[in-house]
Each structure stands twice: as C-alpha cells, then as structure tokens.
Structure 1
Amino acid sequence: MSETKTPQPAQPFPGAQSVPAAQQFQGPQTLEPFPGPQAAQPAHTLQPVPPLSAVQTGQVPPQPSHAQPVQPAQPVPPQPAPSAQPRPIPQGSRALPMHTLQYRFDGPQDAPVLVIGPSLGTTWHMWDRQIPELSQHWRVLRFDLPGHGGAPAHPATAVGELSDRLLATLDGLGVQRFGYAGCSIGGAIGADLALRHPHRVAALALVAASPRFGSADEFRQRGVIVRTNGLEPMARSAPDQWFTHGFAAAQPAIVEWAVQMVRTTDPGCYIAACEALAAFDIRPELGRISVPTLVLVGAEDHVTGPAEARTLVAGIPDARLALVPGASHLAPVEQPGAVTDLLLTHFSTSWQDTLAAIPVPGTGATLSAPVLPIAEIAPAAAGPDGVTSGRPDPYDPGMKVRREVLGDAHVDRVMAGSDDFTGEFQELVTRYAWGETWTREGLDRRTRSCVTLTALVTSGHLEGLAPHIRAALRNGLTPAEIKEVLLQTAVYCGIPAAGAAFTIAQSVIQEETTPRP
C-alpha cells in the first residue's frame, strides 16, 4: 500500500515561542463585522440563522492584536475540493458509520487541513471571526453537530459516535491528517479523537472544554426540560451561560443571534447531545493524549472554567494553558482576536507534520511466546463475594445503569446511608435488580419505567415512586405519558392508590421540568 502524503503545516512565524502557561491579553476585542472568507465553499444546506459576520455589533474599546505575521504554508499536494456530499469511502477502508456531518471548507485547497468543532446549541458560524486569518494558512473545515444549523437530524448519544461521523466525513474527503480545535462538546470530540485516533491528529486545541462536563444528573435533567418545554428555556438562558454581563449588555444583536441558534436546533438532537455529555468522562485517560495540546479558557467562564482547564493541563503530558481575560464560555465570539492569536501560535509551532510522529495502533494480536499444550484445566477461581470468574460480575454494569437511571445524587445518598447492616442488601439490589434485569435487551428503558411505575403503585410501595418518576423522565417518558400510566393504574389498582401516586408524581414532575435560574 502506498504511503499517504501528509499535508505540511504552516511554518512558525519569526521569533514565535511556545504558548506560556497562562497567556494574558488586556482588554476586550474590537467586534467589527468582517467580509466573508475569500473563495469560501458554499454550505451544504441553508442556514436558519445568519453568519456572525452579518450581525451588526456595537462598539467596545479595542484591544491590541498580539498576533505576528505568519509565513505562508509550504506547497503540498492539494486536498480534494468538497462536493455536495462526501465521496464514498474507498474500497478496503475499515468499516465506518453511515452518517456523516454537515461541513464547509474555507481557505486554499493546497494547505494543510484544520478542523474546527462547535459548542452545543451553536453552529459553525460561532467561528466566523477566526476564519479570515486561519484560512490564510490552513484549509479550514468547520462542521455542524447533528440537528444544528440545518444539519440532518440524526441524533448521536455518545461523543465517540460524533467522532466517528467526523472521521467518516474526513475519510470521504480524502483527509488523513489534520489539526483540530473544538469548543465545549467540540473539544470533547477532539479529545476523543486524540485518544482513539492519535495518528490522525497533528495538533489539538481544547476551548472551554473539560474532562467531564458537570454532572450526569445536570445534563439528563436538561434533557428532561427540553423534552417537556422545548428549547425555549435553553435559548433564554444561553446568554448568561455563554457571555459576560458586560458583553451581553454591549452587544444585544450578538446575544439575539446566539439565542436564535439555540431556538433553531432540533430538540431531539440537543437531548441526544446532552446524553453524550452526561456519559463523557475521560479523567482517567488524560495521560494517554500524546498530541501537543492547547487548553484555552475564558477567565470568566462559569460553565467549564479555569479549574476544569487546569485539570486538563495537569493530566495531558504535552499541554499548555491559555487564560483569556474578559471572556466567558464562547471565547471565540467574545474575544475573537485573542483566541485567533492563540490558535495561530499553537498550530504554527506545535503541528506534528508526519504520520510517523505517532504510530498507528496495531490491529492484530501478537504472541510473546509459543503456544504450549494445555495439560490441565483448573477450576474457576472464586471472585469477591463468591462470584466466580466464569461469569462476569453484574455489579459494575448494574451500578452504571443504576446511576444513569436514578441519577448520581440519589445513588450517592443511598450508598452513603448504607452500613454493615444494609450494605449487602444494596449490593444485592445493584447486582441483580440493576445488573441482571435493567441491563437486559428485551425492553428499552422507557418501557421498563412504565412497568416499574405500575408495579410500585400496584404493590402500594409508594415510598419508591418519586425516584422512579425522575427516572422515567430521564428515560424519555413525557409528563403526559406518565399521566397515562397512572390513569391506567387507577382502573386496575384502585382510585386511592392512583390518587396518592398522582400527588407524588405532580410534585416530582414540577420540580424536574421547571428550568432553574
């Protein structure tokens, strides 16, 4: 097989130094509309909101630019131009998911490729103000999450699934090696790529990212709120999450533009992305990220702030921290000049320009010694608590499902309250109720919640109803569907039992579906 020619990186600009541990910038950026990127390829679908460059902005005090001129990139074999749809994957390539992602290219076709990923609830337009400079040195590919920016609504409930779709898109375009920058969930995609496909990533920038985004309970409740109320609560709260108060007051047009991005997102895809973030946790794996990494965070980011950024820097061997004053979660929008300068510096100085920099993971097993005949098969050794090694212990899968269904807060409270007298009972519940029954494939979790609610009302064990009402909401049941389940129990289990259940359910549903300030 012939070796793939790898695009060469942009040359470091004269006197460029590696990004220091805390890059400081003084004052806010000037937010002036810029003309559209030169020779930009048209988007694959029409966008429901205008690009950021078309938004009329107010004037704020200017901030001096810290970027130095960058030398032109060395000539490299041209990358294929994008077509209306990604080209079919060549025969002989490894199996890839059928779904791909909506994307657009900016910049010269013969430049190395830089992929840029968006935050949850935004579109590729959140990077509009970085494109004029970045596209002078790289072939910039921006993509939209499923159901965002008019992209097809094919929900993805895991960060790894989003990464696979991005790789399928890049493979269809013939892009083998690339730099990557991503914001929030876009950063999670980049970290996943660096962990599972390090030979593909030349350099990495994680913007407003975290090894674990808040708590799983928080994102699953966000899904409940969207399923019940639509995206309007998320749209209304977005400015407080994304921008500093001063910026929001000075830039009402940009604030409204951001709100419209959320409103035009597909609710099902938004909920699926919340599930992906709820399950995302790479804290134990940070040491395996071997790609040169810039961790960039707004100093006033209260979503994924400096503490999370420092956790990333402490865990990733070759990582540097850049703190951007006067910026919250969407630093590329709020402080575009500072973010652009940092990205230019990082990708110009840290790009690993050969595929041999990181070896491709092996696909076949190797034997370290000859295989000898087996003389005797020993009996299976007993594991802890009498569980034999011949059958996987269902405790860990059970605990995982128990936390996903009931929530970390509830499970932590129950486990903290157990002692020598009740501890074994909690192990039994986790191992057999959750590890043996809830993990079976015969019924989905929505259906199991319906069965569980009915059983609790029928048996009169209403003390367990409240956590399972919460679980039903997080498993995808709507308040209307829970009401129908309880109405059905009234017919077969009795009016008093159903009435008591309605009282409990009403309180829980109101608490879980009311947006929090």
Structure 2
Amino acid sequence: MINTITNRQGKTLSIQIDGSKDAPAIIFSNSLGTDKGMWDLQATYFKENYQVIRYDTRGHGKSDVIDDTDLANLGEDVIDIMDTLDIKQAHFCGISMGGLTALWLGLNAPTRFKSITVANSAAKIGQADTWLTRANQVEQNGLGDLVKTTHTRWFSEQFDYQHNALAQQTILSLASTPAKGYANSCRALAYANVRHELPEIKIPTLVICGSKDPVTTVEDSEFIQQHIQKSELVCLDASHLSNIECSDEFSQVLDNFIDKNQ
C-alpha cells in the first residue's frame, strides 16, 4: 500500500489510504498543528463504502517541511496526491487550514471534485500581523507555549478532552509538529484570503461550524454559506475541532451530504 507521494516540488507527502480503491474517494485535510490521525474516527466511519485518503499537510506529521508555502501550494499538493493515485474526482473535506484548502480547490480545480466540505474555517482566518508574529515566535521558541493552551481553542469546556484518546493524540501531534513547518503554514494563512472569490465556487459545498468555536466563528461560516450558491450550513455543538468533539454527528452530516452529491 502506497504511503507517500512526491509532489510537483519534488517533496514527500505522507498519506494513508483506507477502504477500497474501486469505491468513491474522500480526501481529508488536517488543521494547523495536527496530522492525518485527527481523522481516525471519520476513516473508520467511511472506509466500508469509500476510499478514504488522508494526508499530512506539508510541514506536519511525516510530510516534508517545505519553505515558501502559500495557499496555492496547499491546494496543488492535493491535486498531486490525486494524480499519483489516479483519482479523477473526489469529495474533499478539510478542517480549519484544510477548509481554506477546500475553498481554493473549489475555485481552481472544480472539475476534480464532486463536493467540498469546509469545516471550522473561514475565507480569511485571522489577521496577517498575528500570524506573522506567531510564526516568528514559534521559530524562535518552539511550540511549547501553544501546546499548554491548545485545548482551550480546540475543545469546549463541556468536552472531556482529557479522557478522550483521539483528543489527547491530536494535542500530542501539535507537540511533535516541526516548528518550521508550523511557522511556514502560519505565513501561508497570513496571506490566504478568498473572500471576494467565493461566488465563483459552483460545486456543492457543505459548511460545518462549531457553536463554541473561538477561532473560526459561526459568523465566518455564515459568510461562506451566503456567498456560495450551492452550499448548506450545519452548526454543531462543539469548539474548533468539531470532527473530534462531535465525531458521530460530524460523520453523519458529511455522509448525508456526500450521498446527495455522488
């Protein structure tokens, strides 16, 4: 089973495939500071009926750290994965940073996707100065301070993240993310902005938000839904990593949406 691909820049991306290669494909894209393991529950849910492809975003997990990264690079990596695996069309689901990747793909490679799902994301996440400052701080001091407080951003107070194995695994993935890889993604996010292009997206789009998300708000998701014609919005009772905090509901909502758009 293939577990790496080489992208157009000659760099290695780590992937994981579950399910049958003859089944419809779903590609999952992780958030900033996590890895493909954050989708474990969705992979288990979908692998009976789909080919499930997960990958570590460049600079995360086991994928190479690649300098001069921007949003277009993040999207092109997905196309390179599909081309290597000979996948003509797929459904794509990205969370947070992966959600911005989904929007880029919807704009720049619409014929390759039957649908996109934009979870806990925004057409522009945060402010450039904040991202650039964080990038510099992480390069200088590492990710230790972020790891200590990450649960307050990723999970709500009602969620027992301390006794949830996947939540703990995901927090640990932040601790092991290369500082340079994290910083490069911060710089990509600083300049990623597709707010004005959203009406150009014509493929079916599912927008998922978390009612308790302090990072990408319900308003951010409503803005996306209001500007994409073939879109629908679902709000879950969760914080930023809604696919972990409300895993069953997240998977069911995504399953119903994909089933309508085969």
| Residue of structure 2 equivalent to 1:127 | 39
Alignment of 1:33-432 (within 5 A): 82-86=1-5, 96-155=8-67, 157-248=69-160, 251=163, 254-325=166-237, 327-351=238-262
* CA shift for structure 1 position 85: 4.4
Identity %: 27
Runs (5+) with no aligned partner, structure 1:
1-81, 90-95, 352-517
Tell whether the 8 Å contact from 1:150 to 1:265 is kept in structure 2 after alignment: no
For residues 12 and 75 of structure 2, what CA distance do their matches in structure 1 show? Answer: 10
Shift of 1:237: 1.8
Separation of aligned partners in 2, 1:101 and 1:190: 18
C-alpha contact (below 8 Å) 2:4/2:12 kept by paired residues: no
> Residue in 2 aligned with 1:9?
none
Q: Which structure features the higher share of strand residues?
A: 2
Is contact 2:5–2:14 with CA below 8 Å preserved after alignment?
no
The separation in 1 between residues aligned to 2:54 and 2:216, in whole angstroms, is 22
For 2:3 and 2:227, locate their aligned partners in 1 and report how far apart those are by CA, in whole Å.
Answer: 40
What per-residue deviation string (whole Å, max 9, x for no partner) do you get for residues 328-352 of structure 1? 000011110010000100000023x
Contact kept, 8 Å, 2:162 with 2:168, in 1: the verdict is no
Q: Distance in 2 between matches of 1:155 and 1:195?
A: 24
Alpha-carbon contact 1:97-1:164 (below 8 Å) kept: no
1:350-370 superposed Cα distances (whole Å, 9 cap, x missing partner): 23xxxxxxxxxxxxxxxxxxx
Structure showing greater radius of gyration is: 1
Runs (4+) of structure 1 exceeding 3 A deviation are 84-87, 252-256
Once the two structures are TM-superposed, the CA of residue 165 in structure 1 deviates from its matched residue by 1.8
In 2, the alpha carbon distance for the partners of 1:84 and 1:336 equals 25
- Tell me the distance in 2 between the aligned counterparts of 1:232 and 1:250: 18
Q: 1:143 to 1:253 in 2, by over 3 A?
A: closer
Q: Secondary structure at the match of 1:262?
A: helix
Change (3 A) 1:250 1:84: closer
Q: Cα distance, 1:109 vs. partner? A: 1.9
Letter matched to residue 243 of structure 1 = F
- 3-state SS in 2 of match to 1:246: coil
More relative contact order, 1 or 2 (CA 8 Å, 6+ apart): 2
Query: Is the contact made by 2:93 and 2:102 (CA closer than 8 Å) also made in structure 1?
Result: yes
Instruction: For residue 167 of structure 1, give the secondary structure of its aligned residue in structure 2.
Output: helix
What is the identity, as a one-letter code, of the residue corresponding to 2:10? M
Q: Distance in 1 between matches of 2:167 and 2:37?
A: 14
Shift of 1:99: 3.0
Q: CA deviation at 1:154?
A: 2.3
Q: CA deviation at 1:97?
A: 3.6
Is the contact made by 2:59 and 2:184 (CA closer than 8 Å) also made in structure 1?
no
- Kindly state the Cα deviation for residue 260 of structure 1 after the two structures are TM-superposed: 1.3
Q: How many corresponding residue pairs?
A: 262
Query: Partner amino acid for 1:83?
Result: I
Quote how far apart the aligned CAs of 1:155 are: 3.7
d(CA) in 1 for partners of 2:256, 2:124: 27
Supply the distance in 1 between the matched residues of 2:239 and 2:102 (Cα, whole angstroms): 20
CA distance in 2, matches of 1:251, 1:180: 30
Aligned-pair CA distance for 1:170: 1.5
Cα distance between partner residues in 1 of 2:63 and 2:4 = 13
Distance apart, 1:214 and its partner CA: 1.0
Closer, same or farther in 2 for the Cα pair 1:336/1:255, shift >3 Å? Answer: closer
SS at match of 2:159: helix
Per-residue Cα deviation, 1:103-128 (whole angstroms, up to 9, x for no partner) = 11011121011111000111111111
In 1: Cα distance, 2:231 partner to 2:22 partner? 29
Q: Give the Cα separation in 1 of the matches to 2:183 and 2:134.
A: 8
1:234 offset after TM fit, Å? Answer: 1.5
Distance 2:85 2:260 in 1: 26
Distance 1:203 1:249, change over 3 A: closer
